[in-house]
Amino acid sequence: MTQDNIKEYFKTVLEKNKDASPEAIDILKKLIDHTINFRDELKEKADVILTVEDTRQAIDIYLEAVRTERLKGELDPKIDSLVRYWLIKVNGATF
C-alpha cells in the first residue's frame, strides 16, 4: 500500500461531498491534514502503517463520538489514538 492511498481516499471523500457547507469542507480538510501528520508520526515513532481501512473505521467512530460526546470503549489502539488525535486537534475535545 502506498503512502498516498489515504490522500486519495480523502480526495474521493471531498469529491463526493463537494456540495457540503464551507464549514464541513473546512473540517474535512483539517481531518485530512491531521490524518497525514498522525500517519507520518505513527510510522516514524512506532514503524506502524495507518491504512485506508483504519482511517475509514476511525471516521465512523469519530463522527459518532462528535454526535454523542462519548467515545466507544475497546477500540483497536491505532484507531483509538487516531480518533482521540482528531478530537483534540479538530474539536478541542478530550473525552
Quick one: pLDDT band at residue 41, thresholds 50, 70, 90? very high
Q: What is the pLDDT of residues 12-21, one digit of tens each?
A: 888 888 788 8
What are the start-end ranges of the E strands in the chain? none
Whether the CB-CB separation of 54 and 78 falls below 8 Å is answered with: yes
* Average pLDDT of every residue of the chain: 89
Whether the CB-CB separation of 6 and 50 falls below 8 Å is answered with: yes
What predicted TM-score, i.e. pTM, was given to this entire model? 0.84
Domain of residue 23 covers 5-91
Whether the CB-CB separation of 65 and 18 falls below 8 Å is answered with: no
Q: What is the pLDDT of residues 57-85, one digit of tens each?
A: 999 999 999 999 999 889 999 999 999 99
Nearest Cα to 9, choosing from 42, 48, 56?
A: 56
Q: How many domains does the chain have?
A: 1
Over 70: is that where the pLDDT of 4 sits? Answer: no
